[in-house]
Structure 1
Amino acid sequence: MHFIQDYERNGAYTGFPILGIEWQKMENPDLRMSMGMDSDQKGVLIKRIEPTASECQVLKPSDVILSFNGINIANDGTVPFRHGERISFSYLVSQKYTGDRALVEVLRNSKILEFNIKLGTHKRLIPAHIKGRPPSYYIVGGFVFTAVSLPYLRSEYGRDYEFDAPVKLLDKLLHAMAQSADEQLLVVSQVLAADINVGYEDIVNTQVLAFNGKPIKNLKTLARMVESCDEEFLTFELEYQQIAILRTKAAKEATLDILKTYCIPSTMSRISRGEADFTC
């Protein structure tokens, strides 16, 4: 279980804010016309807004961002830079700090609106850091569950994780947005081979979608559901329509022996006081 023992810790947390949106260029004249833009107006189109971002309270998909803090944004998403160069307008956001405010001018239904937005750091489904903590995990029947983070991908696939990690995980890293502050992307990191899990040994870094028919929100929820389960079977619904089923009583009884075999001290990650720690 090398990801627990040899985990690569992420660097210092900077706390720089982001504008919690996804946008697209507006270089096509028909696109600009359909959004009610005048010939002299330029900007970028908001595609999606992160549900956990404060911006979702004021900005809307299909808004056209015309300027950021008084600096006009071109149709390709760039703003003036030094010596006549241009750079992505996200550079302007990166010059701010968490808690700073910025004036965002948008076009909505052919009307120009201004919003004074407080910038913050937002919860991505796959976070870029875990603030120096070791990874959270939960083990039952040899199945090792963990929440995916960028440091975890680096620990599993090395510096070239952008090329070696599964395409589905990379797609979620780039595009998936958390629907709530405590939502996590869970995977079966690996299966510690034992009699109870024969046939499941090849499951590696496979996303977990549901447990006993109920969607899973995060690792803490999964652990509670499994630990309190009194049904005959533990049924884990995985990606690609794959399922893993274990007898509840047998899986829980086998877990302690599996931990001893692999020299793992606990079924779940713990902080210094010995309490379960599922935060990522």
Structure 2
Amino acid sequence: MENPDLRKAMDMKPEQKGVRICRVDPTAPESMVLKSSDIVLSFDGVDIANDGTEGFALNGKPVTNLRRLAEMVENCNDEFLKLDLEYEQTVVLRTKTAEAATPDILATHCIPSAMSTDLKALRPWT
């Protein structure tokens, strides 16, 4: 549902996100509930983005956008950074170790900065 015209044609509200079902196998149990052109907004209580991905969380708090992620990481005082990703994947990093490794990671991958200038301009986080 990334196409704004399709979103409007399907009567989606601007704040709604989701994916459109293209086809449902008629022999699948889901065919009793889902039909072609249905729009799925969430799955098991987790919102689905327009590109079909689920949201993720940092230390149990939902991450809504890149600015929020940068703020959460920068202000994290917990011993660990725990990223809950889609498909029940979890990444756990010791916060201080991740901070210490950042310059080497940036240099190894030729990344000029840990944060873009537009995100830096939002400090202190508004």
The match for 2:62 among 179, 191, 215 is 215
Sort the Cα spacing of 1:207 and 1:124 in 2 relative to 1 into closer, same or farther, 3 A: closer
Give the TM-score of the pair, scaled to structure 1.
0.27
Q: Which has the larger radius of gyration?
A: 1
What is aligned with 2:90?
Answer: 243
Aligned residue runs from structure 1 range 161-240, under 5 A = 209-240=56-87
Sort the Cα spacing of 1:50 and 1:227 in 2 relative to 1 into closer, same or farther, 3 A: same
Percent sequence identity over matched residues? 46
- After superposition, what is the alpha-carbon deviation per residue over 1:37-72, rounded to whole angstroms, capped at 9, x for unaligned? xxxxxxxxxxx52244xxxxxxxxxxxxxxxxxxxx
Contact 1:21 1:50 in 2 (8 A): no
Structure 2: gaps spanning 5 or more residues: 19-38, 42-48
Aligned-partner Cα distance in 2 for 1:21–1:176: 15
The Cα RMSD (Å) is 3.1
Aligned-partner Cα distance in 1 for 2:76–2:83: 13
Contact 1:259 1:265 in 2 (8 A): yes
How many residues align? The count is 88
Contact 2:55 2:62 in 1 (8 A): no
The higher relative CO (CA closer than 8 Å, separation ≥ 6) is in 1
The match for 1:266 among 92, 110, 113 is 113
Give the residue type in structure 2 aligned to 1:50: K
Q: Which has the higher strand share?
A: 1
Q: Alignment partner of 1:229: what SS? A: coil
Aligned-partner Cα distance in 1 for 2:14–2:105: 40
Q: Alignment partner of 2:57: what SS? A: strand
Aligned-partner Cα distance in 1 for 2:80–2:55: 16
Contact 2:55 2:64 in 1 (8 A): no
The match for 1:255 among 81, 94, 102 is 102
Shift of 1:260: 1.2
Structure 1: gaps spanning 5 or more residues: 1-16, 23-47, 53-122, 126-174, 178-184, 186-205
